Amino acid sequence: MKLMKRNQLGTSELNISEIGLGCMSLGTDEAQAERIVHAALERGVNFLDTADLYDSGRNEEIVGKAIRGRRQDVVLATKVGNRRIPGKEGWVWDPSKAYIRSAVKESLRRLQTDYIDLYQLHGGTLDDPIDETIEAFEELKQEGVIRYYGISSIRPNVIREYVKRSGIISVMSQYSILDRRPEEEVLPLLADNHISVIARGPVASGVLTEQGGAKVAKGYLDYSSDELIQIREQLQRLVKNDRSMGQTAIRYALANPVVSTAIAGASSLEQLIHNTAAGDAPALTDEEIEQIRSFSKANQYTAHR
């Protein structure tokens, strides 16, 4: 098994690979998904992130089967808060204590484990019963059902409340060269409170990869296709023999010390191998980081601040 740099997650005892596997992209082909998960583990990845929402729970089942017999090698993260109502399509938001306590049992069953390393609230608003939500996580932690908890959110106002009122060790947030919203407020706040960031979307749905040229026509967030073409051209200038465009984007997300891991999805072995190779790619220099900020800042996505 290959070694990959590991970082402490917040103040916890969890040490996670700097590149994790976002399991949402695995799909429902069980054999293919298992190959990808096993390849990730062999390449030094030990952090797997799923959610009860993905494929209506099927993703958790697939991940659970893939890690059977290797549970001790994995830091397993999943999420809660989106509830299905029998007979109705879609999900409703439910951060209540009763729902969290019942949902965790179903996640444990699907994942074929008796504990979850990191249980995350999958969203959140200021209208939620936040103290009740926190109480649910704290009780599950005391009972040994979960080891630690965090939230997945891009909302600074919600993140602030959990930083003040809870024992979260991490915040999962979308963060990339094309979505630098966390840099202004969230990253400094979390760094000051010794809470780690789990960066999702570091290659911006593939736009920041060599193969992403075909994706720019659709735009990304509030970037136009012309803006994306320009950014890709400028990013290409930072590519090295041992660091591709996608790997450069992943290294950007990891450049901030508050980021413990960058999770990229993989629907094929090729994607998985390329993403995990970013662990061997050279870190960005201060000059390269400044260059990226100079060509991405003017177009920084600012909606929903």
Q: Any idea which residues carry the catalytic annotation? A: 54
User: What gap in Å lies between CA 144 and CA 114, rounded to an integer?
Assistant: 9
Q: Give, in order, the Cα–Cα distances in Å from 118 to each of 13, 51, 186, 291, 293.
A: 11, 11, 20, 35, 32
Q: Give, in order, the Cα–Cα distances in Å from 263 to each of 5, 76, 103, 192, 279.
A: 14, 13, 24, 23, 12
Q: Is 38 exposed, middle or buried (0-12, 13-18, 19+ CB in 10 A)?
A: middle
Q: Give, in order, the Cα–Cα distances in Å from 150 to each of 76, 98, 121.
A: 13, 18, 6
Contact 130, 162 (CB under 8 A): yes
